[in-house]
Amino acid sequence: MKPTLLLMAAGMGSRYGGLKQLDDVGPHGEVIMDYSIYDALHAGFGKVVFVVRRSFEKEFEIFARRFGGTVQYDIVLQEIENIPDGYSYPPERTKPWGTNHAVMMAAPVIREPFAVLNADDYYGVNSFHIMAAFLQSVAGGQNKYCMIGFQVENTLSETGGVSRGVCQVDANHHLTGVAERHQIQRVNGQIRYAGDENNTVILPGNTPVSMNMWGFTPDYFAHSERLFKAFLQANSQNPKAEFYIPYAVNELIQSHTVTVSVLPTTSQWFGVTYREDRQAVMQRLAQLHKEGVYPEKLF
C-alpha cells in the first residue's frame, strides 16, 4: 500500500501579499509544492491530496494540466463552517481553524498512511525517503506516528532570526514535547535563541526542530475529531483560536494514546514567508536543477 501526500495549501499568505502556494519560483515555472510532489512520488508515494479554500479552488486546476493524468490526486476544501453538527463559532471569525482542521478535511479521501506538510515549504529529497519508509512500515497499524526532525542549522534564515519548534525526545527517539523558541540565528559562529529575561541560549547545530512534516495512519482522523469537539467547546467564543497539529499531537502523547517517532533528516529546508525571501529560493532551486537533483521537466 503506497502512502499519500497531504499538502496544506489553504493559507492565503497575507504576509506574503498573495497566493504564494502558486508563485512560480522554479527555473521552468515550478511552484514549491511541485518539488514536494516530485520527491514524494519518487520516494514511493501513490497519491496527492490538496487542502484548499473554495475561493481559489479553480487555481489548482493547473495541476490537472501539469500532471497530464499521470498523478492521482484529490482536492478537498477547508472552510470555517466545516465543524461537527451541534457546534457553533463566533460570527466575526474570518478564517478556518488551523492546520489540524486542514488535516481533518481529507478524512473522506484517505484510507492509507499519509504525510502532512506545508505546500509552500521545501523539505528536500532525503526527508521524503525517510517518511515513505516509515509510513510503509506502519501500514495496517494504529497510533504510531512520526515527525521529520530537521537539524536547526539547516533551517536558518540569512536575513534574521526565526521561530522554530525545538523537539524534546526520549531515549527511544519518541517525541515528548515541542518547545517554541524565537529569534534563532547564527551569531559569531554559534546558533542562539532569545531566552527568558533577554538571555541568549546556545543550540547545537544538530538539534532537531519541527518544520511541520508529520506522518500519520488513518486512525488519526478519529482522534482529531474527538479532540476538535473538545477544542470547540473550550474556544466557542474565541474568533482567533487555532486547532494546530502540535496541539492535537501533544494531547495524544500526554494521554499515552500514541507514540511519535522523531526521524532525523540531513535535508536543507527553505521556504517563502515574505516577498523578500523569493529571490533566495529561486536561486536555490535553480542550483538544484543545475546539479541534476531535478530534471528540466518535473512531470
Domain 4-290 - what CATH class? Answer: alpha beta
The pLDDT tens digits for 119-137 are: 999 999 999 999 999 999 9
> What percentage of residues in the chain have a pLDDT greater than 90?
76
Q: How confident is the model at residue 262 (pLDDT cuts 50, 70, 90)?
A: very high
Question: What is the model's pLDDT at position 271?
Answer: 87
Q: Which residues pair with 144 in a beta bridge?
A: 259
Q: How confident is the model at residue 17 (pLDDT cuts 50, 70, 90)?
A: very low
Strands, E assignment, the chain: 4-8, 47-52, 72-77, 114-118, 121-122, 144-151, 162-169, 175-187, 190-194, 200-203, 208-216, 259-265, 270-271
- In the chain, what are the domain boundaries? 4-290
Burial of 18 (0-12, 13-18, 19+ CB in 10 A): exposed
The pLDDT tens digits for 175-227 are: 999 988 999 999 999 999 988 777 889 999 999 999 999 999 999 999 999 99
Compute the distance between CA of residue 21 and CA of residue 122 in angstroms, rounded to an integer: 11
Q: How many degrees, rounded to 5, is the angle at CA 127 between CA 296 and CA 23?
A: 45
Based on C-alpha coordinates, what's the Rg of the chain?
19
Compute the distance between CA of residue 22 and CA of residue 9 in angstroms, rounded to an integer: 9
Question: What is the model's pLDDT at position 15?
Answer: 42
Q: Any idea of the CA torsion for 24, 38, 282, 131, to the nearest 10 degrees?
A: 120
> What percentage of residues in the chain have a pLDDT greater than 70?
96
Question: What is the model's pLDDT at position 158?
Answer: 79
Specify the range with the lowest mean pLDDT, choosing from 144-153, 195-204, 290-299.
195-204
Contacts of residue 192, Cβ cutoff 8 Å, sequence gap at least 6: 184, 185, 186, 200, 201, 202, 203
Q: What number is the average pLDDT over the span 87-107?
A: 93
pTM here? 0.93
SS3 231: helix
Specify the range with the lowest mean pLDDT, choosing from 16-25, 80-89, 142-151, 158-167.
16-25
Buried b (16+ CB within 10 A) or exposed e, 229-250: eebbeebeeeeebebbbbebbb
Evaluate whether 74 touches 47 at the Cβ level (below 8 Å): yes
- Give the helix/strand (H/E) hosting 126: helix 125-137
Question: What is the model's pLDDT at position 41?
Answer: 97
Question: What is the model's pLDDT at position 64?
Answer: 83
Question: What is the model's pLDDT at position 177?
Answer: 92
